[in-house]
Amino acid sequence: MKPSCWIPLLVSLAASVTALPKIDAVSYDGYKVLRINTNRRPSIVKEKLSSIPYEQWNHDVYGHIDILVAPNQVAAFETLDLDYQAMHEDLGDSITAESSPRSVWKRQAQDLSWYESYHTYEDHIQYFEDLQRSFPNNSELVSSGASYEGRDLYGLHLRGTSGPGKPAVLYHGNVHPREWITSPVVEYITLQLITGYTNGDSLILSFLDKYDFYIIPIVNPDGFVYSQISDRLWRKNRQPPPSSGNQSCIGRDINRNWEFAWDANPLGASTNPCSQSYKGEAPSDAPENQGLDKLVRQLRDGAGIKLYIDWHSYGQYILSPFGYKETLYAPELGKWTKAAGMVSETIRDSSDARTTFTFGPSGAALYPTTGAAPDHVYSIGRAEFSYTIELRDTGKFGFVLPPEQIRPTAEEQWEGQKVLLSLLDEEFFDGEGPA
């Protein structure tokens, strides 16, 4: 039975959102993004950096630290005598170039020029509506709740000829708004599933006949819209802060707001509403999380969740639970790691770019995270496979990935997903088969 929180959308998803005040755009003209070589001594680098204000972009700082520096701090930074290189000499110029359309999308689901530019929220909705119309008998447009500002957490439910009610594959895109690349990657995978099934591709037929796909390309729509009209580097949702706090500190990090292990490790999230990783006042107090979690529990109580992927950027990682404790390893870690290794190898060999992914348990391989989706969907949702995938790149461009990398990023991920989806029912380490 179709989960009741997934409401078929009979009208355009671009429907009414509460009118919001006009917002002035944040300018990043003259800002620099710099990669500092730590020489495996990050504490010394951080001590030097403490004399200037900056925003840190990455968390795995053993080898390098990526920072955003304002124009009026560049001279002071240069006096620190650090070993660095520029990722973005002028971030404002990079953002302008990123937003320039490379071609005209014909508003057809099969038009691959969609993957040559970044698009508005309204166009993303239109694109998923077009995809659904191209696959009417095996799909439906759905919503998994609403954002703080009233936008739908829209998505598609894809199924094979046997109808709904099979184990679920669940994808979440654009959890953090500034990670624009995640939505087109999820959309490209959706397109390939539809195209392959329509064309009778035996591999794709097997996927959709065995699993129901629930695909939400933008789970943080308020933040995504804000990142397009005001602040390109926005990370959180747009929920007001606690009434007793600084009222200018808007938003919760919805990937620190899930119920499981929400308060398990003080290093895994922030209690400061002004922080980029603010976890909220209570578990799942962000409306986006409430709708998403309702679906997770309903899928769990139905045919179960076979695979969950939370799509992010950047860094090129494939991460499994647990994130909240670096020394805690799930019983399934062996098969998760084997599968991630096979996906990584496939992605690397799929193109001349040789894109390479690091893989392993999230807390140990990257950094601790509490209230994170993959831990929750595994522990509460009982997903058999649960991952975070951090997309391109490893730091040349970071969050502001040029449009010409959209399609290559999506294509290599589709190659990886074909391998991963083929492994979901594999008996691992039995001496037979690929794993």
Q: Which of 190, 186, 172 has its CA nearest to residue 110?
A: 190
CA–CA–CA angle 403, 231, 280 (5° rounding): 115
Q: 126: which 2 tokens? A: 């239109």
Tokens of 388: 């975070």
The Cα–Cα gap between 360 and 329 comes to 10
Between the alpha carbon of residue 300 and those of residues 109, 140, 168, 297, 351, the distances in Å are 31, 20, 9, 5, 36
310 and 217 in contact (C-beta within 8 Å)?
no
Catalytic residue selected from 326, 390, 411, 412: 390
Helix (H) or strand (E) holding 387: strand 385-391
CA–CA separation, 427 vs 425, rounded Å?
A: 7
> Is the distance from CB of 11 to CB of 148 less than 8 angstroms?
no
Distances from the Cα of 237 to the Cα of 224, 226, 250, 294, 359, angstroms: 8, 9, 8, 18, 28
Q: Is 390 annotated as catalytic?
A: yes
- To 10 degrees, the CA torsion angle through 272, 276, 279, 285? 110
Active site members: 390
